[in-house]
Structure 1
Protein backbone atom coordinates (compact mmCIF):
# COMPACT_ATOMS: atom_id res chain seq x y z
CA UNK A 1 0.00 0.00 0.00
CA UNK A 2 1.39 3.38 -0.90
CA UNK A 3 1.98 6.14 1.64
CA UNK A 4 -0.84 8.34 0.31
CA UNK A 5 -3.47 5.60 0.58
CA UNK A 6 -2.20 4.59 4.04
CA UNK A 7 -2.58 8.20 5.21
CA UNK A 8 -6.12 8.38 3.81
CA UNK A 9 -7.01 5.15 5.66
CA UNK A 10 -5.44 6.42 8.90
CA UNK A 11 -7.59 9.57 8.74
CA UNK A 12 -10.60 7.41 7.81
CA UNK A 13 -9.95 5.30 10.92
CA UNK A 14 -9.97 8.42 13.11
CA UNK A 15 -13.25 9.54 11.52
CA UNK A 16 -14.68 6.05 12.07
CA UNK A 17 -13.79 6.12 15.77
CA UNK A 18 -15.43 9.52 16.06
CA UNK A 19 -18.59 8.27 14.34
CA UNK A 20 -18.78 5.18 16.55
CA UNK A 21 -19.09 7.33 19.66
CA UNK A 22 -22.52 8.45 18.41
CA UNK A 23 -23.81 4.92 17.74
CA UNK A 24 -25.16 2.62 20.44
CA UNK A 25 -26.10 -0.95 19.59
CA UNK A 26 -27.69 -3.77 21.54
CA UNK A 27 -25.37 -6.80 21.76
CA UNK A 28 -26.92 -10.26 22.03
CA UNK A 29 -25.27 -13.60 21.26
CA UNK A 30 -27.32 -15.36 18.60
CA UNK A 31 -26.77 -18.89 17.32
CA UNK A 32 -27.54 -20.04 13.79
CA UNK A 33 -30.76 -21.74 14.85
CA UNK A 34 -32.19 -18.46 16.19
CA UNK A 35 -31.18 -16.12 13.33
CA UNK A 36 -34.02 -14.59 11.33
CA UNK A 37 -32.06 -11.75 9.69
CA UNK A 38 -28.50 -12.18 8.45
CA UNK A 39 -26.04 -9.72 6.97
CA UNK A 40 -22.86 -10.72 5.18
CA UNK A 41 -19.90 -8.57 4.23
CA UNK A 42 -17.32 -10.24 2.04
CA UNK A 43 -14.36 -9.75 -0.27
CA UNK A 44 -15.81 -10.18 -3.76
CA UNK A 45 -12.49 -9.97 -5.59
CA UNK A 46 -12.71 -13.72 -6.25
CA UNK A 47 -15.83 -15.01 -7.98
CA UNK A 48 -15.51 -18.27 -6.04
CA UNK A 49 -16.19 -16.40 -2.76
CA UNK A 50 -19.72 -15.54 -3.84
CA UNK A 51 -20.38 -19.18 -4.84
CA UNK A 52 -19.19 -20.43 -1.45
CA UNK A 53 -21.41 -17.94 0.38
CA UNK A 54 -24.44 -18.96 -1.69
CA UNK A 55 -23.82 -22.60 -0.77
CA UNK A 56 -23.47 -21.61 2.88
CA UNK A 57 -26.85 -19.83 2.80
CA UNK A 58 -28.52 -22.79 1.04
CA UNK A 59 -27.39 -25.04 3.89
CA UNK A 60 -28.94 -22.75 6.51
CA UNK A 61 -30.78 -24.60 9.33
CA UNK A 62 -33.85 -22.33 9.21
CA UNK A 63 -36.06 -21.97 6.12
CA UNK A 64 -37.35 -18.40 6.67
CA UNK A 65 -34.05 -16.57 6.60
CA UNK A 66 -33.88 -12.98 5.40
CA UNK A 67 -30.38 -12.07 4.34
CA UNK A 68 -28.48 -9.35 2.57
CA UNK A 69 -24.90 -9.49 1.38
CA UNK A 70 -22.47 -6.76 0.45
CA UNK A 71 -19.41 -7.62 -1.59
CA UNK A 72 -16.38 -5.35 -1.75
CA UNK A 73 -14.33 -5.34 -4.94
CA UNK A 74 -10.93 -3.72 -4.26
CA UNK A 75 -10.50 -2.74 -7.92
CA UNK A 76 -12.12 0.42 -9.25
CA UNK A 77 -13.97 -1.52 -11.94
CA UNK A 78 -16.92 -3.83 -11.26
CA UNK A 79 -17.28 -6.50 -13.95
CA UNK A 80 -20.58 -7.55 -15.50
CA UNK A 81 -20.80 -10.79 -13.52
CA UNK A 82 -21.38 -8.78 -10.32
CA UNK A 83 -25.01 -7.71 -10.61
CA UNK A 84 -26.73 -6.25 -7.56
CA UNK A 85 -30.28 -7.11 -6.57
CA UNK A 86 -32.33 -6.86 -3.38
CA UNK A 87 -30.17 -9.29 -1.40
CA UNK A 88 -26.75 -8.97 -3.08
CA UNK A 89 -24.97 -5.67 -3.64
CA UNK A 90 -21.44 -4.85 -4.66
CA UNK A 91 -19.27 -1.79 -4.30
CA UNK A 92 -15.71 -0.79 -5.07
CA UNK A 93 -13.27 1.92 -4.00
CA UNK A 94 -14.97 4.37 -6.37
CA UNK A 95 -18.06 4.11 -4.11
CA UNK A 96 -16.00 5.34 -1.15
CA UNK A 97 -15.15 8.90 -0.21
CA UNK A 98 -11.61 10.31 -0.11
CA UNK A 99 -10.97 8.68 3.28
CA UNK A 100 -12.10 5.23 2.02
CA UNK A 101 -15.47 5.31 3.84
CA UNK A 102 -18.38 3.82 1.83
CA UNK A 103 -20.82 6.53 0.81
CA UNK A 104 -23.68 4.73 -0.99
CA UNK A 105 -27.24 4.83 0.33
CA UNK A 106 -27.57 1.02 0.27
CA UNK A 107 -24.56 0.64 2.57
CA UNK A 108 -25.95 3.26 4.96
CA UNK A 109 -29.24 1.31 5.10
CA UNK A 110 -27.34 -1.95 5.63
CA UNK A 111 -25.43 -0.43 8.57
CA UNK A 112 -28.61 0.93 10.17
CA UNK A 113 -30.48 -2.38 9.84
CA UNK A 114 -30.68 -4.18 13.20
CA UNK A 115 -29.70 -7.63 11.97
CA UNK A 116 -29.61 -10.67 14.25
CA UNK A 117 -26.20 -11.72 12.91
CA UNK A 118 -23.51 -10.09 10.80
CA UNK A 119 -20.84 -12.29 9.25
CA UNK A 120 -17.61 -10.58 8.18
CA UNK A 121 -16.23 -13.02 5.61
CA UNK A 122 -12.94 -11.45 4.67
CA UNK A 123 -9.64 -13.24 5.11
CA UNK A 124 -7.60 -10.17 4.10
CA UNK A 125 -7.91 -6.61 5.40
CA UNK A 126 -9.92 -3.96 3.56
CA UNK A 127 -10.75 -0.70 5.34
CA UNK A 128 -14.22 -0.29 3.75
CA UNK A 129 -15.19 -3.71 5.14
CA UNK A 130 -13.92 -2.66 8.57
CA UNK A 131 -15.96 0.53 8.29
CA UNK A 132 -19.18 -1.35 7.48
CA UNK A 133 -18.63 -3.99 10.18
CA UNK A 134 -17.90 -1.31 12.78
CA UNK A 135 -20.85 0.91 11.86
CA UNK A 136 -23.33 -1.96 11.61
CA UNK A 137 -26.08 -2.02 14.21
CA UNK A 138 -26.26 -5.86 14.09
CA UNK A 139 -26.88 -7.55 17.44
CA UNK A 140 -24.05 -10.06 16.97
CA UNK A 141 -21.00 -9.83 14.71
CA UNK A 142 -18.74 -12.77 13.83
CA UNK A 143 -15.72 -13.30 11.61
CA UNK A 144 -12.02 -14.13 11.38
CA UNK A 145 -9.77 -13.09 14.23
CA UNK A 146 -7.16 -10.51 13.32
CA UNK A 147 -7.74 -7.19 11.59
CA UNK A 148 -11.44 -6.86 12.47
CA UNK A 149 -11.24 -7.79 16.18
CA UNK A 150 -12.35 -4.33 17.37
CA UNK A 151 -15.64 -4.57 15.49
CA UNK A 152 -16.47 -8.25 16.12
CA UNK A 153 -18.19 -9.98 19.05
CA UNK A 154 -17.20 -13.53 18.06
CA UNK A 155 -13.90 -14.38 16.36
CA UNK A 156 -12.51 -17.54 14.77
CA UNK A 157 -8.75 -18.01 14.79
CA UNK A 158 -7.66 -19.60 11.51
CA UNK A 159 -4.23 -20.90 10.62
CA UNK A 160 -4.93 -20.58 6.88
CA UNK A 161 -6.63 -17.72 5.04
CA UNK A 162 -9.43 -19.74 3.47
CA UNK A 163 -13.03 -18.60 3.14
CA UNK A 164 -14.14 -22.23 2.97
CA UNK A 165 -12.47 -23.00 6.32
CA UNK A 166 -13.87 -19.80 7.88
CA UNK A 167 -17.42 -20.69 6.81
CA UNK A 168 -17.02 -24.24 8.13
CA UNK A 169 -15.78 -23.02 11.54
CA UNK A 170 -18.46 -20.31 11.84
CA UNK A 171 -21.16 -22.84 11.00
CA UNK A 172 -19.81 -25.27 13.59
CA UNK A 173 -19.40 -22.85 16.51
CA UNK A 174 -22.37 -20.59 15.84
CA UNK A 175 -24.51 -23.68 15.31
CA UNK A 176 -23.78 -24.74 18.89
CA UNK A 177 -24.53 -21.31 20.35
CA UNK A 178 -27.96 -21.01 22.07
CA UNK A 179 -28.84 -24.66 21.51
Structure 2
Protein backbone atom coordinates (compact mmCIF):
# COMPACT_ATOMS: atom_id res chain seq x y z
CA UNK A 1 0.00 0.00 0.00
CA UNK A 2 2.91 2.33 0.77
CA UNK A 3 4.40 1.57 -2.62
CA UNK A 4 1.06 2.26 -4.31
CA UNK A 5 0.77 5.52 -2.43
CA UNK A 6 4.24 6.60 -3.52
CA UNK A 7 3.43 5.74 -7.12
CA UNK A 8 0.15 7.65 -7.02
CA UNK A 9 1.77 10.73 -5.50
CA UNK A 10 4.33 10.63 -8.26
CA UNK A 11 1.73 11.21 -10.97
CA UNK A 12 2.31 14.54 -12.67
CA UNK A 13 -0.49 15.39 -15.06
CA UNK A 14 1.77 17.93 -16.75
CA UNK A 15 4.32 15.32 -17.83
CA UNK A 16 5.15 15.60 -21.51
CA UNK A 17 6.61 13.22 -24.08
CA UNK A 18 5.59 10.10 -22.18
CA UNK A 19 5.97 6.73 -23.84
CA UNK A 20 2.75 4.89 -24.59
CA UNK A 21 3.48 2.35 -21.84
CA UNK A 22 4.15 5.05 -19.25
CA UNK A 23 1.05 6.93 -20.30
CA UNK A 24 -1.04 3.76 -20.02
CA UNK A 25 0.38 3.17 -16.55
CA UNK A 26 -0.51 6.70 -15.45
CA UNK A 27 -4.05 6.31 -16.76
CA UNK A 28 -4.47 3.05 -14.83
CA UNK A 29 -3.20 4.68 -11.63
CA UNK A 30 -5.51 7.64 -12.18
CA UNK A 31 -8.45 5.25 -12.46
CA UNK A 32 -7.39 3.57 -9.21
CA UNK A 33 -7.31 6.94 -7.48
CA UNK A 34 -10.77 7.92 -8.69
CA UNK A 35 -12.21 4.48 -7.88
CA UNK A 36 -11.02 4.70 -4.28
CA UNK A 37 -12.14 8.33 -4.15
CA UNK A 38 -15.59 7.24 -5.28
CA UNK A 39 -15.88 4.91 -2.31
CA UNK A 40 -15.19 7.87 -0.06
CA UNK A 41 -17.81 9.94 -1.86
CA UNK A 42 -20.47 7.28 -1.35
CA UNK A 43 -19.61 7.01 2.35
CA UNK A 44 -19.97 10.78 2.76
CA UNK A 45 -23.28 10.80 0.88
CA UNK A 46 -24.67 8.14 3.20
CA UNK A 47 -23.85 10.36 6.19
CA UNK A 48 -25.10 13.66 4.82
CA UNK A 49 -28.57 15.15 5.22
CA UNK A 50 -29.96 17.07 2.27
CA UNK A 51 -33.42 18.43 1.54
CA UNK A 52 -34.28 18.44 -2.17
CA UNK A 53 -36.29 21.48 -3.26
CA UNK A 54 -36.93 22.27 -6.93
CA UNK A 55 -36.62 25.98 -7.67
CA UNK A 56 -37.05 28.17 -10.73
CA UNK A 57 -33.84 29.88 -11.86
CA UNK A 58 -35.35 33.36 -11.57
CA UNK A 59 -36.30 32.64 -7.94
CA UNK A 60 -32.99 31.08 -6.87
CA UNK A 61 -31.09 33.58 -4.74
CA UNK A 62 -27.94 31.67 -3.79
CA UNK A 63 -26.29 29.71 -6.62
CA UNK A 64 -23.16 27.58 -6.90
CA UNK A 65 -21.52 27.14 -10.32
CA UNK A 66 -18.92 24.52 -11.27
CA UNK A 67 -16.92 24.55 -14.50
CA UNK A 68 -13.89 23.05 -16.24
CA UNK A 69 -11.21 25.59 -17.14
CA UNK A 70 -10.52 24.03 -20.54
CA UNK A 71 -10.07 27.06 -22.79
CA UNK A 72 -10.25 30.83 -22.89
CA UNK A 73 -13.48 30.67 -24.90
CA UNK A 74 -15.16 28.42 -22.32
CA UNK A 75 -13.93 30.65 -19.49
CA UNK A 76 -15.45 33.69 -21.20
CA UNK A 77 -18.76 31.84 -21.62
CA UNK A 78 -18.84 30.95 -17.94
CA UNK A 79 -17.93 34.51 -16.95
CA UNK A 80 -20.77 35.97 -19.03
CA UNK A 81 -23.29 33.58 -17.50
CA UNK A 82 -22.15 34.28 -13.95
CA UNK A 83 -22.25 38.03 -14.59
CA UNK A 84 -25.82 37.72 -15.88
CA UNK A 85 -26.80 35.94 -12.67
CA UNK A 86 -25.06 38.52 -10.50
CA UNK A 87 -26.65 41.40 -12.42
CA UNK A 88 -30.07 40.11 -11.33
CA UNK A 89 -29.04 40.30 -7.67
CA UNK A 90 -28.14 36.66 -7.12
CA UNK A 91 -25.27 35.58 -4.88
CA UNK A 92 -23.00 33.29 -6.92
CA UNK A 93 -20.00 31.22 -5.83
CA UNK A 94 -17.90 29.70 -8.62
CA UNK A 95 -15.39 26.85 -8.52
CA UNK A 96 -13.45 25.76 -11.59
CA UNK A 97 -11.22 22.75 -12.22
CA UNK A 98 -7.92 22.92 -14.14
CA UNK A 99 -5.81 19.88 -15.00
CA UNK A 100 -2.40 21.54 -14.62
CA UNK A 101 -0.66 23.06 -11.62
CA UNK A 102 0.01 26.45 -13.21
CA UNK A 103 -3.10 28.42 -14.13
CA UNK A 104 -3.32 29.62 -17.76
CA UNK A 105 -2.48 33.25 -18.61
CA UNK A 106 -6.03 33.97 -19.76
CA UNK A 107 -7.44 33.23 -16.30
CA UNK A 108 -7.89 36.40 -14.27
CA UNK A 109 -8.78 35.96 -10.58
CA UNK A 110 -12.22 37.30 -9.73
CA UNK A 111 -14.18 37.83 -6.56
CA UNK A 112 -16.24 34.71 -5.75
CA UNK A 113 -14.16 32.57 -8.17
CA UNK A 114 -11.77 29.78 -7.15
CA UNK A 115 -9.99 27.13 -9.21
CA UNK A 116 -8.93 23.61 -8.24
CA UNK A 117 -5.54 22.44 -9.56
CA UNK A 118 -3.78 19.08 -9.05
CA UNK A 119 -1.96 20.63 -6.08
CA UNK A 120 -5.34 20.96 -4.35
CA UNK A 121 -6.24 17.25 -4.64
CA UNK A 122 -5.61 14.53 -2.10
CA UNK A 123 -4.31 11.07 -2.98
CA UNK A 124 -7.73 10.03 -4.27
CA UNK A 125 -8.52 13.16 -6.34
CA UNK A 126 -10.77 14.79 -3.76
CA UNK A 127 -10.35 18.59 -3.61
CA UNK A 128 -8.92 19.78 -0.29
CA UNK A 129 -8.15 23.45 -0.96
CA UNK A 130 -9.01 25.96 1.78
CA UNK A 131 -11.93 27.34 -0.26
CA UNK A 132 -13.64 23.93 -0.48
CA UNK A 133 -15.19 23.79 3.06
CA UNK A 134 -16.86 27.23 2.69
CA UNK A 135 -18.25 26.17 -0.70
CA UNK A 136 -19.58 22.87 0.62
CA UNK A 137 -20.93 24.67 3.68
CA UNK A 138 -23.30 26.68 1.50
CA UNK A 139 -26.90 25.48 1.28
CA UNK A 140 -27.30 26.76 -2.27
CA UNK A 141 -30.79 27.10 -3.70
CA UNK A 142 -29.27 25.74 -6.90
CA UNK A 143 -25.98 24.10 -7.90
CA UNK A 144 -25.12 24.13 -11.61
CA UNK A 145 -22.34 21.88 -12.89
CA UNK A 146 -21.20 23.17 -16.29
CA UNK A 147 -17.97 21.21 -16.21
CA UNK A 148 -16.81 18.07 -17.96
CA UNK A 149 -18.98 15.07 -16.97
CA UNK A 150 -15.77 13.11 -16.34
CA UNK A 151 -14.13 15.68 -14.06
CA UNK A 152 -13.94 13.82 -10.73
CA UNK A 153 -13.20 16.83 -8.46
CA UNK A 154 -16.30 18.60 -9.81
CA UNK A 155 -18.31 15.39 -9.51
CA UNK A 156 -17.20 15.17 -5.88
CA UNK A 157 -18.38 18.71 -5.15
CA UNK A 158 -21.68 18.12 -6.97
CA UNK A 159 -22.34 14.99 -4.96
CA UNK A 160 -21.33 16.27 -1.52
CA UNK A 161 -22.97 19.70 -1.88
CA UNK A 162 -26.04 20.33 0.29
CA UNK A 163 -27.66 22.40 -2.48
CA UNK A 164 -31.43 22.08 -2.63
CA UNK A 165 -31.52 21.62 -6.41
CA UNK A 166 -28.65 20.23 -8.51
CA UNK A 167 -28.27 20.49 -12.28
CA UNK A 168 -25.86 18.65 -14.57
CA UNK A 169 -25.47 16.43 -17.61
CA UNK A 170 -26.76 12.87 -17.78
CA UNK A 171 -23.42 11.43 -18.76
CA UNK A 172 -19.98 10.79 -17.32
CA UNK A 173 -19.36 9.49 -13.81
CA UNK A 174 -22.21 7.57 -12.17
CA UNK A 175 -24.29 7.55 -10.04
CA UNK A 176 -25.42 10.98 -11.23
CA UNK A 177 -26.01 13.32 -8.28
CA UNK A 178 -28.34 15.72 -10.10
CA UNK A 179 -32.03 16.45 -9.59
CA UNK A 180 -32.38 17.81 -13.13
CA UNK A 181 -30.24 16.26 -15.87
CA UNK A 182 -29.67 17.40 -19.45
CA UNK A 183 -29.74 14.33 -21.68
CA UNK A 184 -28.68 15.45 -25.16
CA UNK A 185 -25.58 16.06 -27.26
CA UNK A 186 -23.94 19.24 -26.01
CA UNK A 187 -21.13 20.82 -28.03
CA UNK A 188 -20.12 23.73 -25.82
CA UNK A 189 -20.92 25.47 -22.56
CA UNK A 190 -23.23 28.01 -24.20
CA UNK A 191 -25.50 25.18 -25.39
CA UNK A 192 -25.51 23.60 -21.93
CA UNK A 193 -26.30 26.93 -20.28
CA UNK A 194 -29.10 27.54 -22.79
CA UNK A 195 -30.71 24.19 -22.00
CA UNK A 196 -30.39 24.63 -18.24
CA UNK A 197 -31.82 28.14 -18.37
CA UNK A 198 -34.69 26.88 -20.52
CA UNK A 199 -35.65 24.02 -18.23
CA UNK A 200 -35.30 26.04 -15.04
CA UNK A 201 -37.03 29.17 -16.33
CA UNK A 202 -39.91 27.96 -18.48
CA UNK A 203 -41.70 25.90 -15.88
CA UNK A 204 -43.07 26.32 -12.38
CA UNK A 205 -40.71 24.08 -10.44
CA UNK A 206 -41.95 24.33 -6.90
CA UNK A 207 -42.08 27.95 -5.99
CA UNK A 208 -39.77 30.60 -4.65
CA UNK A 209 -36.57 29.71 -2.84
CA UNK A 210 -36.72 30.35 0.84
SS at match of 1:150: coil
Match of 2:51 among 4, 19, 26: 26
Residue 94 (structure 2) pairs with residue 69 (structure 1): yes
| Partner deviation per Cα, 1:65-99 (whole Å, 9 max, x = no partner) | 11011010012222344343431111112100010
Report the Cα distance in structure 1 between the residues aligned to 2:91 and 2:162, rounded to whole angstroms.
16
Q: Is the 8 A contact 2:33 2:123 kept in 1?
A: yes
Q: TM-score, normalised by structure 1?
A: 0.91
Report the Cα distance in structure 2 between the residues aligned to 1:61 and 1:85, rounded to whole angstroms.
13
Q: Is the 8 A contact 2:67 2:147 kept in 1?
A: yes
Bigger radius of gyration: 2
Q: Is the 8 A contact 1:31 1:175 kept in 2?
A: yes
Q: Write out aligned runs for 1:87-106 (5 A).
A: 87-106=112-131
- Aligned match of 2:62: 37
Residue 180 (structure 2) pairs with residue 154 (structure 1): yes
Residue 172 (structure 2) pairs with residue 171 (structure 1): no
- Which deviates more from structure 2 when the two are superposed, residues 56-65 or residues 81-90? 56-65
Q: How far is the alpha carbon of 1:160 from its aligned partner?
A: 3.2
> How many pairs does the alignment contain?
179
CA RMSD of aligned residues (A): 1.9
Report the Cα distance in structure 1 between the residues aligned to 2:47 and 2:107, rounded to whole angstroms.
34
5+ residue gaps in structure 1? none
Q: TM-score, normalised by structure 2?
A: 0.79
